[in-house]
A and B are shown apart, each in its own frame.
Chain A
Amino acid sequence: MNAPASTAEKKIIPIVASPDKGPIAPPPGADEETIALYEAHQKIYPRSVSGYFSKWRWALVFLTQLVFYGLPWLEWGQRQAVLFDLGARRFYIFNLVLYPQDFVYLTGILVISALSLFLFTAVAGRLWCGYACPQTVYTEIFLWLEKLAEGDRSARMRRDAGPWNVDKVWRKTAKQLMWIAVGLWTGFTFVGYFTPIHSLAGAVMAMSMGPWETFWVLFYGFATYGNAGYMREQVCKYMCPYARFQSAMFDKDTLIVTYDELRGEPRGGRSKKADLSTLKLGACIDCSLCVQVCPTGIDIRKGLQYECIGCGACADVCDTVMDKMGYARGLVKYSTQNAVNQRWSGADILRHVLRPRVLVYSSVLLAVVLAMLVSLWMRAPFKVDVERDRSTLARIVSGGRLENVYRLQIMNARETPQTFEVSAEGLPGLTLSTDSSMEVGPTESRWIAIRVQLPYEGAAPGSHPIHFTVKSAPDAAVVTEKSVFIVPR
């Protein structure tokens, strides 16, 4: 590890996107200082921003929250359309009834989510972080409420620095009330996915919520309030693991929010009418707006940093400045490292989208999605478990027939009663001595004792594999389960 490499063949690995700056050489010892290992929290006052990417973010805020807040209110037949009934261990998703045995579908959803994240990140960086992550979405909502009550960045900073007066108190109170209201509503909605939301609303009105419901409404509400109101960028910087491994998914053709250093530098203030060529200045007027709007408080002009959540706020605000100055847009923009270094056009970037890693992610993702859909499509609307009787190995009944006893658990995954036809195969002369037809109620799981008989000496002593075929009468779906028939000596 510590083997000193000769300085001549020192290979430089840039950690920033800028092409010619390279890594900063370690300065001589004289430049050193001592600092504490802990850092006091610096409050960030993000300036509100409007523009192309901001519109996209708000569109996604509306879309995701319309789904989140709206879905539990949707009715489907006699019940809530999406309900995770943990008590009864049934998950209802529209016309789908999932049993605990269907948890493999959750695995599928998680795999799809992870692969989508890899794919989107490889193509366009932290799209999830910047636009759809709940932390971003709720922070956006809370920031909007904050602006409503306290005004934009400069007003908030001035008021926070000033003394407590009537104006400050009522504005802060108004903000808190709005934050708490949104937090509680979010907590209430969250619990509404697990307890029917109409009856939950009734229980809230009557102040008769159960202890667990009360706890989760308050806990989830508090988590929303704390994370979106106070923790904000701290969650992204210190708690979220994603920032730490995003570099594994980035390459030089990944879209990132980046500052065009070649065009921007040297930066400096100037009059709008000034002539750039005589001033020997780049396009950056050093207005610092890109820093002011950044929700994680970084300076994008320093290159790609792990704190950057790729929200594009700096790109939006820089475009408005460029418009005002009469310069071309795109000093801060979504671009790739290769595109910036090699002055590529948009078409060049597009040409480099289909890289091996993107193709691999896409094909694996497609395969998993297809497998999920096919398996959901072909899923039998019931499940069967066969258990041999716990004690009776075999018995001889009148007529000298051998009898084995099994318990069949039939789980109806439909919301209508189903009639099932059971048969046993695998040995010559195998018959059911119990009624072969049975009804199981809607979403009910029923154990049924089944007796199977074989003529005496119909098979050699020992255990013989047999299988049960259970057929659903309405749609002829079939489930086959293995078991054994025991012939005593």
Chain B
Amino acid sequence: MSDFTSNFWSVYVTAVTVIGIAACLFLLWFSGKAKAMTAHDNTTGHVWDGDLREMNNPLPRWWVGLFVITIIFSAIYLAFYPGLGASAGKLGWTSTGQFQAEIAKGEADIAPIYARFDAMSAEDIAKDPQAHAIGERLFMNNCSQCHGSDARGSKGFPNLTDADWLHGGSPEKIMETLNQGRVGQMPPMAAAVGSGDDVKNLANYVLSLSGSPHDSVRANLGKSKFAACAACHGSNGKGNPALGAPNLTDDIWLHGYGESAIINIVTNGKVNQMPAQAQKLSPAQIKVLSSYVWGFSNTGAVK
């Protein structure tokens, strides 16, 4: 009620509530006083359709008592809880307050569960069945949207179950990735490489690094152009986890497989982002989740 500039609505709500309760009280009082005409055979004398007569079936008084109890309840309720316009009620209850209390209660409830993992190593957590169950739920709610519910990713979203890690696959590195997020930057390199034909030759060279099907003549021609890529991917194309530069010598193609996909990414570049989770998840949750993810490629517990 504090959102309004005048107290009109407050007064309005108070009036509707109070008049409503007063009307109930009046109805009770009035019908308690009222008498009905009744014939001795316990009919009211009302006749419909010539022969249908209304019997007098008085309400038991205890039922009226229940009505009175509801009115008393409403008075007590309005004294303790907000309801009468701007009045906050004696208990000072608010929905925001209740929400925060429930959050605090929920956190207090789960704290002892996570406390158990505090002293455990990532390796041990990855093997723990309870941590696995928690990790699975965290993953399904926070990671599976991009990496897939089987953690195997798809185009543009890395597969987390293999041994290939863009930024390092140790539990600490995974935790760092989760906390801070990652930005993978592949700048457009076409200008540095040369003509369109040069780019095509380079793409064939890149394909040759992993032994994928390629045109060996073009690959040979493109080899010299790889110098432009070596700054990040290394002279042998093995990548650099410090920069998040992918290894080009394995058969894993994050942004698509084949000549045209490589030409596309060399020409246009790509900025890929893993959002930071530190604001969303607690440190304890990050720890369990990173151990869970680490477990995919290290404990054989791949789903």
Contact = CB atoms under 8 A, between A and B. Distances in A.
A470 to B, nearest CB: 17
Interface in B216-261: 251, 257
A39 B152 contact: no
B41 A24 contact: yes
B contact patch SS: mixed
A164 interface: no
Contacts of A5: 49-51
B154 A392 contact: yes
A350 interface: no
B56 interface: yes
B7 interface: no
Contact of A37 (B34, B53, B148, B155): B34
Contact of B50 (A4, A31, A34, A389): A4
B63 A405 contact: no
A36 B61 CA distance: 11
Contacts of A86: none
B39 interface: yes
Nearest to B144: A390
B60 A3 contact: no
Given A10-B51, A389-B150, A392-B148, A34 B37 contact: yes
Interface string B50-73: 111100101111111000000000
Interface residues of A, number: 45
B150 A38 contact: no
Contacts of B58: 35-39
Contacts of B40: 27, 31-33
A245 interface: no
Interface in B148-186: 148-150, 152-155
Instruction: Pick from B37, B45, B51, B53 the residue with the most CB of A within 10 Å.
Output: B51
B59 A405 contact: no
B48 A27 contact: no
A37 B59 contact: yes
A158 interface: no
Interface in A122-148: none
Nearest to A29: B45
A398 B251 contact: yes
Contacts of B116: none
A90 B48 CA distance: 55
Contacts of A398: 251
Instruction: Pick from A7, A36, A451 the residue with the most CB of B within 10 Å.
Output: A36
Contact of A2 (B43, B48, B60, B155): B48
Interface string B127-156: 000000000100000001110111011110
A238 interface: yes
A451 to B, nearest CB: 6
Interface string A1-35: 11111010011110000000001101101011111
B31 interface: yes
B280 interface: no
A35 B154 CA distance: 82
A392 B158 CA distance: 12
A34 B155 CA distance: 87
B161 to A, nearest CB: 10
Contacts of A38: 31-32, 58-61, 64
A353 interface: no
Contacts of B34: 36-37
Nearest to B32: A38
A3 B51 CA distance: 11
Given A33-B38, A38-B58, A3 B32 contact: no
Interface string A40-63: 110000000000000000000000
A234 B60 contact: yes
A391 B140 CA distance: 11
A39 B61 contact: yes
A258 B100 CA distance: 65
A451 B63 contact: no
A201 interface: no
Contacts of A389: 144, 148-150
A37 B31 contact: yes
Contacts of B155: 395-396
Contacts of B108: none
A182 interface: no
A395 B153 contact: yes
A289 to B, nearest CB: 24
A485 B152 CA distance: 17
A171 interface: no
Contacts of A34: 35-38
Contacts of A35: 35-36, 38, 56, 58
B115 interface: no
Given A2-B48, A10-B50, A37-B59, A27 B41 contact: yes
Contacts of A407: 149
A449 interface: yes
Contacts of B52: 13
16 contacts: A2-B48, A3-B49, A13-B52, A26-B39, A27-B39, A29-B45, A31-B40, A34-B36, A37-B32, A37-B35, A391-B145, A392-B153, A393-B154, A395-B155, A447-B136, A449-B149
Interface of A: 1-5, 7, 10-13, 23-24, 26-27, 29, 31-41, 234, 238, 389-396, 398, 403, 405, 407, 434, 447-449, 451
Given A38-B32, A451-B150, 15 more contacts: A12-B51, A26-B43, A26-B47, A26-B53, A32-B45, A33-B38, A35-B56, A36-B34, A39-B59, A41-B60, A389-B148, A391-B148, A394-B154, A395-B152, A407-B149
Q: Sorted from nearest, which 4 A-B pairs have the closest CB atoms?
A: A5-B50, A39-B58, A34-B35, A449-B150
Interface of B: 31-32, 34-41, 43, 45, 47-53, 56, 58-64, 136, 144-146, 148-150, 152-155, 251, 257, 303
